[in-house]
Structure 1
Amino acid sequence: MLTQAYQALTKDPNGTAPLIFAFHGTGGDENQFFDLAQDIHPDAGVISPRGDVSEMGAARFFRRTGEGVYDMDDLARATDKMAAYVSDWKQKNPGRAIYGFGYSNGANILASVMISHPELFDRVGLLHPLIPWNPSSVSGLQDTQVLVTAGRHDPICPWPQTEKLTRWIRAQGAELTTLYHDGGHEMWREELTALAELLRDH
């Protein structure tokens, strides 16, 4: 079954609460954000998969050939696989809101899925994403709430790339919120506060 395509921690939702997908950064695993997602929204279902690529022992969701240099063929493979994985969970939860958030490499696979399959997620949190290509315009993001957080001095996710991604998201008609700080690749408390505001029901 596609819902078993990744090693993952999962929790069933209560009532009408959303299903939240949590995507770890390089070197993380399914444990990295599982508890955070539950703490933010205790009634939500949580799906936290482990990346299926190993980079010198560090789990990732797709391969790269250098810092910020993606193996685009493997990214395409990983994006299709993850989109099918999310879609299968969505089909098993008809009518339920689907949220997702990820940090660094997790934000990148989530952003790639959002770009290729804009219909899958209702809310998307991208923490320190890096999308080093120019996505084509898409339809289907007009009703999607998207949060982008970043550090203005992030050596891994250069600031101009973050600005380019946010311009693209805004141009697709998504409801975009941004949270920037003057640090680097580390997550600040303010980012987690913004993420909680995105994921909790209003």
Structure 2
Amino acid sequence: MFTYDIYEPIGRKEGETFPVIYALHGFGGDELDVPGILEIMMDRYVVVALRGKVEYGPSYGFYHMATEGEPDAKEIHEVSKQVLQFIADINKKYDTIQTANTFLIGFDQGAIVTLDLMLRYGGEISGAALLSSRFLSYTENLPKNLLLQNKPFFVGHGTEDIVVPIEEAERLTRFLKTLSTNVEFHSFFTAHNLKEAEEDELEIWLDKLVQSRVQKK
């Protein structure tokens, strides 16, 4: 089980349920990082923020960084399986959660774990946002998941990011478009961090998805 914080809408009525967002932080962060850009959505979404299990001083990561080259794909896959099980457990534990509307938002390392989870098990998730993510070469060699054909993806990246150049996000977007017909790319005038502008775009994206899913019922 991951250490986590959960934010349930204040003033909710008895028996009321809400879509859920699982937030995964980046290298050197913790469970407090991503919820900061989701605050304006907390009146109508349950937000669950995970903490990675790898300790880096006072902060955390989801997997070990490589001294050179790419991180270990097997370790990333193991973490994505753990996150998937965690989601299943939390969705059962809290009766405020609409399990049919389960979304992932990952930043940096959290985005890489999110992508691995989506590529392997994405049929169980309603949509995913990948923020400031690297594009690891092993992902291109994974079996094609046909359940991702119409799955919504949001790719967000800073134009001034020198940690992970925006070209990686562009490459990630091109790759995702070979799997899904529902991929959006958003760039922001920022470095390797999260800004309010992303919050606004994510809010629009999520609200539109939830509304469209309600209308289809």
TM range (shorter): 0.7 to 0.9
2:78 maps to which residue?
77
The answer to whether the Cα contact below 8 Å between 1:123 and 1:198 also exists between their aligned partners in 2 is no
The answer to whether the Cα contact below 8 Å between 1:99 and 1:121 also exists between their aligned partners in 2 is yes
Alignment match of 1:177 (pick from 164, 179, 184) = 184
**2:167 alignment partner AA:** P
Q: CA 1:36/1:186 → structure 2, altered by over 3 Å: closer, same or farther?
A: closer
- Rounded Cα–Cα distance in structure 2 between residues aligned with 1:129 and 1:62: 14
1:18 maps to which residue?
19
2:5 maps to which residue?
9
**1:8 alignment partner AA:** Y
- Rounded Cα–Cα distance in structure 2 between residues aligned with 1:64 and 1:35: 25
Q: Identity rate of aligned residues, in percent?
A: 21
Q: Quick check: which has more Rg, 1 or 2? A: 2
Alignment match of 2:168 (pick from 147, 150, 161) = 161
- Give per-residue Cα distances to partners, 1:130-178, cap 9 Å, x unaligned: 1221433221123322110112342222333222211121111241111
Alignment match of 1:109 (pick from 113, 122, 127) = 113
Q: CA 1:45/1:129 → structure 2, altered by over 3 Å: closer, same or farther?
A: same
Which deviates more, 64-73 or 127-136?
Answer: 64-73
The answer to whether the Cα contact below 8 Å between 2:25 and 2:109 also exists between their aligned partners in 1 is yes
1:147 maps to which residue?
154
- Rounded Cα–Cα distance in structure 1 between residues aligned with 2:58 and 2:172: 29
How many residue pairs align between the two structures? Answer: 198
- Give per-residue Cα distances to partners, 1:6-31, cap 9 Å, x unaligned: 01011346524201101112222112
In structure 2, the gaps of 5 or more residues are: 212-217
Task: Return the TM-score normalized by structure 2.
Answer: 0.79
In structure 1, the gaps of 5 or more residues are: none
Per the alignment, in what secondary structure is the counterpart of residue 175 of structure 2?
helix
**2:21 alignment partner AA:** I
Q: In angstroms, what is the RMSD of aligned CA positions? A: 2.3
Alignment match of 1:129 (pick from 95, 119, 133) = 133
The answer to whether the Cα contact below 8 Å between 1:40 and 1:199 also exists between their aligned partners in 2 is no
1:60 maps to which residue?
61
Task: Return the TM-score normalized by structure 1.
Answer: 0.85
Is 1:193 aligned with 2:200?
A: yes
1:33 maps to which residue?
34
**1:59 alignment partner AA:** Y
Q: Displacement, 1:101?
A: 0.7
Per the alignment, in what secondary structure is the counterpart of residue 97 of structure 1?
strand
Q: CA 1:67/1:107 → structure 2, altered by over 3 Å: closer, same or farther?
A: farther
- Rounded Cα–Cα distance in structure 2 between residues aligned with 1:30 and 1:184: 21
**1:176 alignment partner AA:** V
- Rounded Cα–Cα distance in structure 1 between residues aligned with 2:69 and 2:199: 24
